[in-house]
Amino acid sequence: AGKVNRVPDLVLTAGGTMTGRVCDHSGKVIEGAKVVLKQNNKEIAQTVTNNEGTYSFKNLKSGIYQVGSGNTDGVFRVWSEKTAPPSAKEHALLVMGENGARGQFGAVDPTLVLLTGGVIAAVVLSAIAVSEINSVKDTVNQIPISP
């Protein structure tokens, strides 16, 4: 039994726009990365990521697209807003491989795209810290104060 190759579903936003982000294996966004869009192995567009590592391609129709940057290539099934399945995400994420290794790709929610790599860890840590602080405060408040 071979491995099932799942193609991530993406939904196009206004104007048939496909958006995504390019980051390295540690989650750091890559500015100025060339991103190539292909359909049926034929290049149909290319762009460069901005200072937030994001890219977009406009005026697309539903279909299967290949998105590539450096050593990372991903295949995405792209849907219009009206026909997209509920599981379709709004961003195509390309994670570059380390030292020339092949990278990974996937589809993510926009909120997750903003919280890549270390930022997610920082958010999780700060949430834990706040709950620990509150629990310490409760404990301190319960200590009887002697005159």
pLDDT digits (tens, 9 = 90+) for 47-73: 999 998 999 999 999 999 999 998 889
Average pLDDT, the chain: 79
| Residue 114, Cβ density class (10 Å: 0-12 exposed, 13-18 middle, ≥19 buried) | middle
Topology, domain 9-142: Immunoglobulin-like (2.60.40)
pLDDT band for position 140 (50/70/90)? low
Digit-coded pLDDT (tens) for 13-50: 989 999 999 988 888 889 999 999 999 999 999 999 99
Domain ranges of the chain: 9-142
126 pLDDT exceeds 60? no
pLDDT confidence of residue 99:
74
Backbone phi, then psi, for 22, in 5-degree steps?
A: -115, 130
